[in-house]
Protein backbone atom coordinates (compact mmCIF):
# COMPACT_ATOMS: atom_id res chain seq x y z
CA UNK A 1 0.00 0.00 0.00
CA UNK A 2 1.40 3.37 -1.07
CA UNK A 3 2.01 6.23 1.36
CA UNK A 4 0.27 8.40 -1.23
CA UNK A 5 -3.17 6.90 -1.76
CA UNK A 6 -5.04 7.17 -5.06
CA UNK A 7 -8.32 5.53 -6.10
CA UNK A 8 -7.54 2.50 -8.30
CA UNK A 9 -9.95 3.66 -10.97
CA UNK A 10 -12.21 6.49 -12.05
CA UNK A 11 -14.41 6.86 -15.10
CA UNK A 12 -16.37 9.47 -16.99
CA UNK A 13 -18.17 10.10 -20.22
CA UNK A 14 -16.73 12.27 -22.97
CA UNK A 15 -17.11 15.94 -22.14
CA UNK A 16 -17.50 15.35 -18.42
CA UNK A 17 -15.25 16.44 -15.57
CA UNK A 18 -13.39 13.93 -13.41
CA UNK A 19 -11.11 14.33 -10.44
CA UNK A 20 -8.40 12.04 -9.12
CA UNK A 21 -7.39 12.37 -5.49
CA UNK A 22 -4.01 11.80 -3.89
CA UNK A 23 -4.17 11.48 -0.12
CA UNK A 24 -1.03 11.67 1.96
CA UNK A 25 -0.08 12.60 5.49
CA UNK A 26 1.83 14.95 7.73
CA UNK A 27 5.24 13.92 6.42
CA UNK A 28 4.55 14.49 2.74
CA UNK A 29 1.69 16.56 1.32
CA UNK A 30 0.75 17.84 4.77
CA UNK A 31 4.33 18.99 5.32
CA UNK A 32 3.83 21.36 2.39
CA UNK A 33 5.85 19.30 -0.05
CA UNK A 34 4.84 19.88 -3.63
CA UNK A 35 2.76 17.35 -5.56
CA UNK A 36 3.35 16.45 -9.19
CA UNK A 37 1.19 14.48 -11.61
CA UNK A 38 2.04 12.18 -14.49
CA UNK A 39 0.01 10.64 -17.29
CA UNK A 40 0.95 7.23 -18.66
CA UNK A 41 -0.83 6.26 -21.85
CA UNK A 42 -1.05 2.50 -22.53
CA UNK A 43 2.33 1.04 -23.47
CA UNK A 44 4.20 4.32 -23.18
CA UNK A 45 6.48 6.12 -20.75
CA UNK A 46 5.03 8.50 -18.14
CA UNK A 47 4.67 12.14 -19.07
CA UNK A 48 4.74 15.13 -16.70
CA UNK A 49 1.28 16.63 -16.52
CA UNK A 50 1.33 18.99 -13.50
CA UNK A 51 4.30 20.14 -11.43
CA UNK A 52 4.51 22.03 -8.15
CA UNK A 53 0.83 21.38 -7.40
CA UNK A 54 -0.74 23.61 -10.04
CA UNK A 55 1.65 24.29 -12.93
CA UNK A 56 1.28 22.84 -16.42
CA UNK A 57 4.35 22.22 -18.61
CA UNK A 58 4.26 23.72 -22.05
CA UNK A 59 2.00 21.72 -24.33
CA UNK A 60 -0.30 20.31 -21.67
CA UNK A 61 -3.90 21.41 -22.36
CA UNK A 62 -5.59 23.64 -19.80
CA UNK A 63 -8.24 20.94 -19.43
CA UNK A 64 -5.83 19.51 -16.87
CA UNK A 65 -5.46 21.29 -13.53
CA UNK A 66 -4.04 20.51 -10.12
CA UNK A 67 -4.80 21.62 -6.59
CA UNK A 68 -3.59 20.90 -3.09
CA UNK A 69 -5.13 21.36 0.33
CA UNK A 70 -4.05 20.01 3.69
CA UNK A 71 -2.85 16.44 3.29
CA UNK A 72 -4.42 15.87 -0.12
CA UNK A 73 -4.03 16.91 -3.72
CA UNK A 74 -6.29 16.53 -6.73
CA UNK A 75 -6.01 16.34 -10.49
CA UNK A 76 -9.02 17.58 -12.41
CA UNK A 77 -9.71 16.85 -16.06
CA UNK A 78 -12.48 18.77 -17.79
CA UNK A 79 -13.98 18.16 -21.21
CA UNK A 80 -12.97 14.50 -21.01
CA UNK A 81 -11.72 13.01 -24.28
CA UNK A 82 -11.12 9.43 -25.36
CA UNK A 83 -7.40 10.14 -25.61
CA UNK A 84 -7.31 10.92 -21.88
CA UNK A 85 -7.76 7.22 -21.09
CA UNK A 86 -4.56 6.42 -19.22
CA UNK A 87 -2.99 5.76 -15.82
CA UNK A 88 -2.35 8.82 -13.66
CA UNK A 89 0.20 9.02 -10.85
CA UNK A 90 0.83 11.61 -8.16
CA UNK A 91 4.31 12.08 -6.70
CA UNK A 92 5.78 13.93 -3.73
CA UNK A 93 8.56 13.86 -1.17
CA UNK A 94 8.19 12.19 2.20
CA UNK A 95 10.41 13.54 4.96
CA UNK A 96 9.91 10.56 7.26
CA UNK A 97 10.94 8.07 4.61
CA UNK A 98 13.49 10.49 3.13
CA UNK A 99 12.40 9.53 -0.34
CA UNK A 100 10.55 10.58 -3.44
CA UNK A 101 7.28 8.65 -3.63
CA UNK A 102 4.62 7.89 -6.19
CA UNK A 103 1.00 7.14 -5.51
CA UNK A 104 -0.30 3.75 -6.54
CA UNK A 105 -1.82 5.12 -9.72
CA UNK A 106 -5.36 5.63 -10.99
CA UNK A 107 -6.73 4.14 -14.18
CA UNK A 108 -9.03 6.55 -16.00
CA UNK A 109 -11.62 4.99 -18.26
CA UNK A 110 -13.51 7.14 -20.74
CA UNK A 111 -16.91 5.54 -21.16
CA UNK B 1 14.18 18.33 -28.39
CA UNK B 2 15.01 16.65 -25.09
CA UNK B 3 15.52 12.93 -25.54
CA UNK B 4 16.68 10.03 -23.40
CA UNK B 5 17.41 6.59 -24.80
CA UNK B 6 17.89 3.68 -22.42
CA UNK B 7 19.68 0.45 -23.23
CA UNK B 8 21.10 -2.60 -21.51
CA UNK B 9 17.97 -4.33 -20.32
CA UNK B 10 18.11 -8.11 -20.49
CA UNK B 11 17.19 -11.43 -18.90
CA UNK B 12 19.51 -12.15 -15.97
CA UNK B 13 19.61 -14.83 -13.31
CA UNK B 14 18.98 -14.06 -9.63
CA UNK B 15 22.19 -12.88 -8.02
CA UNK B 16 23.50 -11.61 -11.34
CA UNK B 17 24.53 -8.14 -12.49
CA UNK B 18 23.51 -5.78 -15.25
CA UNK B 19 24.44 -2.25 -16.31
CA UNK B 20 21.86 0.07 -17.83
CA UNK B 21 22.78 3.11 -19.89
CA UNK B 22 20.81 6.23 -20.75
CA UNK B 23 22.06 8.49 -23.52
CA UNK B 24 20.63 12.01 -23.37
CA UNK B 25 20.44 14.76 -25.96
CA UNK B 26 18.81 18.11 -26.60
CA UNK B 27 19.90 19.84 -23.39
CA UNK B 28 23.00 20.76 -21.37
CA UNK B 29 23.37 17.38 -19.71
CA UNK B 30 25.89 18.41 -17.06
CA UNK B 31 23.49 21.00 -15.64
CA UNK B 32 20.78 18.51 -14.73
CA UNK B 33 20.18 15.78 -12.23
CA UNK B 34 19.31 12.42 -13.77
CA UNK B 35 17.26 9.70 -12.20
CA UNK B 36 16.07 6.13 -12.67
CA UNK B 37 12.45 5.15 -12.05
CA UNK B 38 11.17 1.61 -12.46
CA UNK B 39 7.84 -0.05 -13.05
CA UNK B 40 7.25 -3.72 -12.33
CA UNK B 41 4.91 -5.51 -14.75
CA UNK B 42 1.35 -4.32 -14.17
CA UNK B 43 2.41 -2.21 -11.20
CA UNK B 44 3.01 1.44 -10.37
CA UNK B 45 6.07 3.66 -10.53
CA UNK B 46 8.95 3.43 -8.05
CA UNK B 47 11.77 5.96 -7.81
CA UNK B 48 15.15 4.15 -7.74
CA UNK B 49 18.07 6.57 -7.75
CA UNK B 50 19.28 10.07 -8.65
CA UNK B 51 22.63 11.67 -9.43
CA UNK B 52 23.28 15.40 -9.50
CA UNK B 53 25.43 17.06 -12.11
CA UNK B 54 26.58 19.91 -9.89
CA UNK B 55 28.45 17.85 -7.30
CA UNK B 56 27.85 14.24 -8.31
CA UNK B 57 25.87 13.53 -5.15
CA UNK B 58 23.73 10.40 -5.26
CA UNK B 59 20.66 9.06 -3.50
CA UNK B 60 19.00 5.65 -3.55
CA UNK B 61 15.71 4.06 -2.60
CA UNK B 62 16.03 1.74 0.39
CA UNK B 63 15.00 -1.19 -1.81
CA UNK B 64 18.19 -0.92 -3.90
CA UNK B 65 20.67 0.70 -1.52
CA UNK B 66 23.93 -1.24 -1.38
CA UNK B 67 23.12 -3.18 -4.56
CA UNK B 68 22.70 -0.51 -7.24
CA UNK B 69 25.14 2.25 -8.18
CA UNK B 70 24.27 5.28 -10.31
CA UNK B 71 26.98 7.16 -12.19
CA UNK B 72 27.31 9.60 -15.05
CA UNK B 73 29.75 10.58 -17.79
CA UNK B 74 29.09 14.17 -18.76
CA UNK B 75 31.50 13.90 -21.70
CA UNK B 76 29.18 11.26 -23.19
CA UNK B 77 25.89 12.74 -21.95
CA UNK B 78 25.16 9.38 -20.41
CA UNK B 79 23.93 8.12 -17.05
CA UNK B 80 24.38 4.55 -15.89
CA UNK B 81 22.81 2.20 -13.40
CA UNK B 82 24.97 -0.69 -12.24
CA UNK B 83 22.73 -3.34 -10.73
CA UNK B 84 24.27 -6.12 -8.64
CA UNK B 85 22.81 -8.97 -6.58
CA UNK B 86 19.65 -8.82 -8.64
CA UNK B 87 16.43 -10.28 -7.26
CA UNK B 88 13.13 -11.30 -8.80
CA UNK B 89 11.51 -8.18 -7.39
CA UNK B 90 13.90 -6.06 -9.46
CA UNK B 91 12.09 -7.22 -12.60
CA UNK B 92 10.72 -4.06 -14.18
CA UNK B 93 10.89 -1.55 -16.97
CA UNK B 94 13.58 0.94 -15.98
CA UNK B 95 13.03 4.51 -17.10
CA UNK B 96 15.66 7.21 -17.26
CA UNK B 97 14.26 10.63 -16.36
CA UNK B 98 15.56 14.17 -16.12
CA UNK B 99 14.99 15.48 -12.62
CA UNK B 100 14.20 19.00 -11.49
CA UNK B 101 14.69 20.15 -7.90
CA UNK B 102 17.12 19.57 -5.07
CA UNK B 103 17.93 16.66 -2.77
CA UNK B 104 14.97 14.32 -3.09
CA UNK B 105 12.43 17.12 -3.46
CA UNK B 106 12.22 16.54 -7.18
CA UNK B 107 10.00 15.89 -10.13
CA UNK B 108 10.71 14.35 -13.52
CA UNK B 109 10.11 16.53 -16.54
CA UNK B 110 11.32 14.26 -19.35
CA UNK B 111 11.40 10.47 -19.59
CA UNK B 112 12.99 7.88 -21.84
CA UNK B 113 11.05 5.01 -23.36
CA UNK B 114 12.36 2.46 -20.85
CA UNK B 115 14.35 -0.75 -20.94
CA UNK B 116 13.11 -4.08 -19.58
CA UNK B 117 15.06 -5.99 -16.95
CA UNK B 118 13.90 -9.52 -16.19
CA UNK B 119 15.41 -11.40 -13.27
CA UNK B 120 14.60 -15.08 -13.54
CA UNK B 121 16.28 -18.47 -13.59
A102/B46 touch (CB, cutoff 8 Å), yes or no: yes
Q: By CA distance, what is A53's nearest residue in B?
A: B107
The pLDDT tens digits of the residues spanning B84-104 come to 999 999 999 999 999 998 888
Cα gap B15→B3, rounded to integer Å:
32
The pLDDT tens digits of the residues spanning B23-52 come to 999 999 999 999 999 999 999 999 999 999
Chain A within 8 Å of B29 (Cβ-Cβ)?
A: no
* CA-wise closest residue to A88 among A97, A76, A100, A72: A76
What pLDDT is recorded for position A1? 65
The whole-angstrom distance between A43's CA and the closest CA on chain B is 10
For the four alpha carbons of B56, B9, A94 and A88, in that order, the dihedral sign comes to: positive
Chain A within 8 Å of B109 (Cβ-Cβ)?
A: yes
- Per-residue pLDDT of chain A (111 residues), as tens digits, is 679 999 999 999 999 999 999 999 999 999 999 999 999 999 999 999 999 999 999 999 999 999 999 999 999 999 999 999 999 999 999 988 888 999 999 999 999
Q: By CA distance, what is B115's nearest residue in A?
A: A45
The confidence band for B15, taking pLDDT boundaries of 50, 70 and 90, is very high
Chain A within 8 Å of B45 (Cβ-Cβ)?
A: yes
Q: Is the pLDDT of residue B108 over 70?
A: yes
Greatest C-alpha distance within chain B: 41
The whole-angstrom distance between B61's CA and the closest CA on chain A is 7
* CA-wise closest residue to B49 among B94, B3, B14: B94
* CA-wise closest residue to A6 among A100, A62, A74: A74
What pLDDT is recorded for position B102? 83
Contact A98, A87 (CB under 8 A): no
Amino acid sequence: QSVLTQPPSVSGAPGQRVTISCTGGSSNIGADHDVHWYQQLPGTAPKLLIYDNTNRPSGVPDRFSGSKSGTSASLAITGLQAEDEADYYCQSYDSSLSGSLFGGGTKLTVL
Amino acid sequence: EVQMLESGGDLVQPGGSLRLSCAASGFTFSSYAMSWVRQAPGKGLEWVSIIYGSDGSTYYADSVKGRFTISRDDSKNTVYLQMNSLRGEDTAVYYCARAIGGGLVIYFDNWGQGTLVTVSS
